[in-house]
Structure 1
Amino acid sequence: MKKYDYVLVGAGLYSGVFAYLARQKGKKCLVVEKRNHMGGNIYCEEIEGIHVHRYGAHIFHTSSKEVWRFVNELAEFNRYTNSPVANFKGEMYNLPFNMNTFSKMWNVATPAEAKAKIEEQKKAVTGEPKNLEEQAIRLVGTDIYEKLVKGYTEKQWGRDCRELPAFIIKRLPVRFTYDNNYFNDLYQGIPIGGYNVIIDKLFEGCDVELETDYLEKRDHYDGLAEKTIYTGMIDAFYGYQFGKLEYRSLEFETETVDTDNYQGVAVVNYTDRETPFTRIIEHKHFEFGTQPKSVITREYPRDWSEGMEPYYPVNDETNQKLFQKYRSLAAQESHIIFGGRLGEYRYYDMDKVIESAMKAAMEELK
């Protein structure tokens, strides 16, 4: 008999959900985490009485009743609605693109006027779009593309929009209503007390080793448990034998400011190319805070290299082909389950991570 039923590599949301469901079945779990804290990218730290999202804005939203019921068992959620604003050289526009955006941009009042504007501008591109720029113009016209898509996208990807493939933007949400709610999901909110409330519940009863690299002592940890749940980089697990998958990374610059309200909204996107960061997050607005000071975070996209945090898989054809090679190796493993953003090499919203972990746990623990 081994000491544990499961070793969970990484202490993020996928591992947490799996561990929580495994513990309910009486299973013993060991969590091995590289960082010095639990919770992966949803971890919050408290500054000036404000729950600061250390790895960027995390706004929970889902249309799954099952997932919503699950997270509400762990924490009570507030009624926060994501309504970000775009700043283009000092001009402020509502997001997602809706009648408030169009009214400000073109001084139009009706959906018919806004549609006519967009349809006219879309004619600038004829034939099949050859790159992201042409694809975006075909979707929303030239004005919205130039002011609200181009600079932001080029900062995110570190490349000119004309060098990016068209398929990256399959659609851009356009609404002909005066509705600033970014998400269409049935449920959204922020856990009252921050995400650490959820993290603590998910990993309750697990043994934990922080600041520990599983890959450096893989044989040791695999020997401790019947199975391993691996949520790290799948290419790193296999020693990059087919080559390295690509990611985009981020840098965060967090500052306490001596004002009770810095920007009036939780998220402002800076959509011009010249501003080096993509957005500023003011954390107190996630929980309707009334603290005398505020905490803001500027978010800078970065090219990823080994040793940096891999945030966004680069979901292009080259990387997908490479990932399929690693996935074929993973499919042959009988004692390892790969999960989460890095283990499955895909961009996941939080609710989809939870769904994926619940599915894996249901199959494993039946």
Structure 2
Amino acid sequence: MPQVTLNTAIERSQDRAEGYDYLIVGAGFAGSVLAERLATGLGKRVLLIDRREHVGGNAFDHLDEAGVLVHRYGPHIFHTNAQRIVDYLSRFTEWRPYEHRVLAQVGEQQLPIPINLTTLNKLYGRDMDPTQAEAFLKSKAEPVESIRTSEDVVVNQIGRELYETFFRGYTRKQWGLDPSQLDKSVTSRVPTRTNSDDRYFTDTFQMMPLHGYTAMFEKMLDQPGIDILLQTDFAKLDPQLRYAHLVYCGPIDEYFGHRLGRLPYRSLRFEHTTVDKEQFQEVAVVNYPNEAVPYTRITEYKHLTGQRHPRTSLTYEYPCADGDPYYPIPRAENAELYHRYKALADEIPEVTFLGRLGTYKYYNMDQVVGQALALYKHLEQAEQTQGEEQSNTAVPDGA
């Protein structure tokens, strides 16, 4: 992978032949995909920087001390309905089929989540069929006239009892706010089923990079025209570094020095451990909705990767207020503040904001890839248009 030193980057940036067309801040999905496309598709010179010591952003995986492949920043499960996203990423990885399943610890039982027929029958000691389950949920539902919050969504669909059992505590831990204080989009993402489908996702494509995310990123970025500078903070970047256009995948409010106030994010703390057994839990992820339990979930990675190993590694996940920004907090006042920052961004055409942090929106991995590919297409069309205009204004031979 083409890593360079800061001094080398500065020298190349000031060279007319090797100068950088683009500086991209952030080597996660958004920045890496765009870097590859610009370098490979348009022949651009790109400098990709990241404040961490690795590429891959939050999808970074590695072998831990026990030799188990783990995700440093919590589980990342790839799923999409978009063939074009799969086709693009397949240039850089083979795939392992994987359908994600999650259990929720409720009392002494572990029950499938999202709620499905099995969940309801086990929880209530019933033997309902799908039609009976649908009628049962309808009897539990408490209609809400105007659905505005995450609490409204769940209570309206399945009632307060199931809301309290599965959603309220988990959401309060995850976001540090009651569901009644969060936009309806948070719980709208989680369906309720009356059949026995226990898959967490129902997308057409559900799989994991065969050799891991980091290997995929390294192959993606191993292209002529891309230089990589790690452990580099954009805010402290040497002003001697030259580039024509900036693509910023960090927090948009941070770029502007938080001049309008800080955009709120939820962070995470991870506790990684290895245990001396081949398997710790039945599925990759077990959720803990009870507020008395300080963590939200436990992940066992061998379910995701298919790795065989006599020991197994786990991650306990603790949401928190401080730390790296992971999740934009979906509330109306936060969206309003973001739009004020976006108005500032629109005034500087030489800077483009991209990704979950750059656009203050929760995206799945495939959506970030799609956003980066869409930006590339826009830049490609702009370049073609500019080339045609220059061709049309050229002085004809013999004039």
The residue number in structure 2 matching 1:54 is 72
CA displacement at 1:218 relative to structure 2: 6.6
The residue number in structure 1 matching 2:385 is none
**1:343 aligns to 2:358 (yes or no):** yes
Q: Mapping of 1:1-366 within 5 angstroms?
A: 1=16, 3-24=19-40, 25-47=42-64, 48-106=66-124, 107-123=126-142, 127-128=145-146, 132-164=150-182, 168-170=186-188, 172-205=190-223, 206-217=226-237, 219-221=239-241, 224-304=242-322, 308-366=323-381
Which range moved further: 198-207 or 231-240? 198-207
Which amino acid counterpart does residue 34 of structure 1 have in structure 2?
R
CA displacement at 1:131 relative to structure 2: 5.1
Query: Gaps (5+ residues) in structure 1?
Result: none
1:234–1:326 Cα contact (<8 Å) kept: yes
Q: Distance in 2 between matches of 1:114 and 1:315?
A: 31
Distance verdict in 2 for CA 1:45–1:171, change over 3 Å: closer
The residue number in structure 1 matching 2:8 is none
Which amino acid counterpart does residue 267 of structure 1 have in structure 2?
V
Q: Distance in 1 between matches of 2:187 and 2:282?
A: 29
Which amino acid counterpart does residue 227 of structure 2 have in structure 1?
D
Asked which structure has the greater CA Rg, the reply is: 2
**TM-score after normalising by structure 1:** 0.93
CA displacement at 1:116 relative to structure 2: 2.1
1:108–1:114 Cα contact (<8 Å) kept: no
Q: Distance in 1 between matches of 2:80 and 2:137?
A: 30
Distance verdict in 2 for CA 1:165–1:362, change over 3 Å: closer
Which amino acid counterpart does residue 114 of structure 2 have in structure 1?
P
CA displacement at 1:129 relative to structure 2: 5.3
User: How many residues in Structure 1 have an aligned counterpart in Structure 2?
Assistant: 360
Q: Distance in 1 between matches of 2:29 and 2:144?
A: 44
Which amino acid counterpart does residue 354 of structure 1 have in structure 2?
V
Q: Distance in 2 between matches of 1:131 and 1:30?
A: 42
Q: Distance in 2 between matches of 1:165 and 1:78?
A: 35
**Identical counterparts, % of pairs:** 34
CA displacement at 1:134 relative to structure 2: 4.3
Provide the secondary structure at the position in 2 that maps to 1:78: strand
CA displacement at 1:92 relative to structure 2: 0.9
- Write out per-residue CA displacement over residues 72-93 of structure 1, whole angstroms, 9 at most, x where no aligned residue: 1110111110111111233111
Which amino acid counterpart does residue 236 of structure 2 have in structure 1?
E
Q: Distance in 1 between matches of 2:379 and 2:180?
A: 45
Distance verdict in 2 for CA 1:6–1:171, change over 3 Å: closer
Distance verdict in 2 for CA 1:196–1:246, change over 3 Å: same
Q: Distance in 2 between matches of 1:75 and 1:167?
A: 32
Provide the secondary structure at the position in 2 that maps to 1:31: strand
Query: Gaps (5+ residues) in structure 2?
Result: 1-15, 382-399
2:183–2:332 Cα contact (<8 Å) kept: no
CA RMSD of aligned residues (A): 1.8
CA displacement at 1:163 relative to structure 2: 4.5
CA displacement at 1:142 relative to structure 2: 3.0
Provide the secondary structure at the position in 2 that maps to 1:74: coil
